[in-house]
Amino acid sequence: MDLGLKGKTAIVTGGGSGIGAGISEALAQEGVNVAISYLVEEKQVKAYAQELTSTYGVYCSTYYADITKTAEIDAMIEAVTGRYGGIDILVNNAGIWPTEELLDMPDENWKRVIDINLNGPYLLSKRVARSIIDAGNKGVIINISSKSSMQVNTPGHGHYVTAKAGLNMFTRALAREITQRGVRVVGLMPGIVRTPINEDKWQAGGLMDEYVKRIPVGRFAEAVEIGYTVAFLCSGKAPHFTGTTLDITGGMLI
């Protein structure tokens, strides 16, 4: 299926590794020029952007930006707009997932997780939406949430689950305000996704087999599969998706 995305421009936060890398690849496969936002692993991210450019014949570039700092966000948006002429897609994917129980958690750690996983998407979405609307264009914002926004299966992630639950409601609130102005807003809730960074953990002591038992489809998702869903939702084939957060957990929320 031709999704009609060729020549579009997307910002993908955290788009150089993990789920973000899968999203960047799927968009590049569809002819989208991807601006990858990163905070760490500069060399790896730049190499990945070049790989996507060479493989798919698109123009992928990288931008250092702390998504909790408005000055850095503004600078990135200005740079991307200047290079590509505008922004069509924003994927709020960057996030952190530390483990620490609430009663022992330093207050600043709570604030940091909320800042990165919830406030960052707000700050970016507002600015990108303004850019799209002011240019008289249409666009799509995708917020990567988590199955943990709906269930608390393990202790130690109170800040994370709270931020992701807030992101689901932010998706609804933003969509209510800007969909009629030409910008759709959709969320995704992945479950367990297989990425190189966590492969060693899953292979240890049969842990993967135990987790697979909790997934009705019988396997972990691959990062690029999350990307395929993002690409579809960003396309003209999905015009009535807005203000909702979709379950793509392989059935873990049944």
Annotated catalytic sites, by residue? 160
Q: How far apart are CA 147 and CA 191, in angstroms?
A: 5
DSSP state of 97: -
Q: Report CA-CA distances (Å) from 52 to 2, 26, 37, 40, 47.
A: 19, 10, 15, 19, 9
183: β partners: 139
Q: Report CA-CA distances (Å) from 95 to 18, 66, 179.
A: 11, 11, 25
187: β partners: 143, 245
Q: Vertex 1, ends 141 and 37: CA angle to 5°?
A: 30
Q: How far apart are CA 127 and CA 7, in angstroms?
A: 21
Report the 10 Å Cβ neighbour count for 25.
23
Contact 246, 189 (CB under 8 A): yes
Helix, strand, coil percentages (3-state) for the chain, rounded to 5, are: 50, 15, 35
